[in-house]
Amino acid sequence: RLAKADGIAIHRYSNADSRAAGQRLKLVPAIRENIACDAFNLLYQPKIDLATMQPMGCEALLRWPSDRGPVVPVMTLIEVAENSRQIAPLTRWVVQAILSQEQDWQARGLPRHMAVNISARLIQDRHFISELQGLLASSTGYFQFEFEITETALMSSRDLAIELASSLSQTGSTLAIDDFGTGYSSLAYLKDLNASILKIDKSFVTNIDDSRDNQTIVRSTIKMAHELGMQVVAEGIETAADERFLLSLGCDFGQGYHYAKPLPVDELEQWLTKFESQAQTPRHLSDLQP
């Protein structure tokens, strides 16, 4: 009876498994088509300078088009693109889509500081890196690009990452270490990358006042990052309490639902107008109870 129950469980599992695999397989041509038809969307999530409470830029986040079949979560999209040799064309689409808006953003006075996520796979792709350099070189230079690469990606190919960082700095772009704290590496190990920004993963930031451990981790990370000459972004600031805590720890920048969700460009513009008009009083460390 047990064996039979096991058999059924295994059977069901593998059925669901192959269904998921089949669905992923269907995504391969769908991704190709969405790139070819310029159908993907980008949303922009603002980042706030916590010392002045002014918006300082935004992060571009990819979205599956809502009118082309069931919406695919971005993590699945990236994973399938990585495994079907489409991550380079997809990322090229992202950068080109941003660059095609240069004049529009400049005319509307939208933020110049633009963070773009780069998948782990692309660190090893020299062809892509030189293509990226070419794209950036042909732009008007309105956008100041910051490329976000996850800590885990940087750890697994550190020498390539050092090369990448130096190619990026030749184009005037900078490097940010994304999702820091989830990869268990030390900052000392990553410091040769000359990354200018460290983004602390939201798992340590959201509800930080509930976790002494997270407070300790974030406090010492910020201190060490500053001593290594890096600035720190906290992602996942969801409440005023999260904001207050991060401010009291000396965090430089904040990003999260407390300020804004990732927004389409028109909503970003409205959000910026509203946020900037709400006479933001700069907060000072002395006003805060740690």
Taking CB under 5 A as the binding criterion, the range among 10-18, 31-39, 170-178, 265-273 that sits at the site for Mg ion is 170-178
Cα–Cα dist 114/118, whole Å: 13
Q: What is the spatial distance between Cα 246 and Cα 218, in angstroms, rounded to a whole number?
A: 8
Considering beta carbons, is residue 72 or 153 the nearer one to Mg ion?
Answer: 153
How many binding residues for ligand C2E (CB under 6 A)? 24
**How far is the CA of 14 from the CAs of 5, 18, 216, in angstroms?**
14, 6, 43
What DSSP string runs through 149-216? Answer: EEHHHHHHTHHHHHHHHHHHHHTT-EEEEEEETSS---HHHHGGG--SEEEE-HHHHTTGGG-HHHHH
Q: Which stretch binds ligand C2E (CB under 6 A): 115-123, 155-163, 188-196, 271-279?
A: 115-123
Residues 218-257 that bind ligand C2E (CB under 6 A): 235-238, 255-257
Candidate residues 2, 3, 5, 75; the one interacting with ligand C2E per rule CB under 6 A: 75
Element (H, E) at 275: helix 265-277
Integer Cα distance of 80 and 84 in angstroms: 6
C-beta of 239: minimal distance to ligand C2E in Å?
Answer: 9
Residue from 146, 148, 151, 252 touching ligand C2E (CB under 6 A): that is: 148
Nearest residue to 256 via CA among 231, 235, 233, 280: 235
- Site membership for Mg ion, residue 214 (CB under 5 A): no
Q: Which is nearer to ligand C2E, 34 or 206 (CB)?
A: 206
Tell me the sheet residues that pair with 232.
Answer: 198
Q: Is 148 in the site for Mg ion (CB under 5 A)?
A: yes
Cβ neighbours of 242 (radius 10 Å): 22
Pattern 168-207, binding to ligand C2E, x per CB under 6 A?
----------xx----------------------x---x-
Answer with the entry of ligand C2E, Mg ion, none that 221 interacts with (C-beta below 5 to 8 A by kind). Answer: none
Which residues of this protein are in contact with Mg ion, per CB under 5 A?
117, 148, 178-179, 235
Which residues of this protein are in contact with ligand C2E, per CB under 6 A?
45, 61-62, 74-75, 78, 91, 94, 117-119, 148, 178-179, 202, 206, 235-238, 255-257, 262
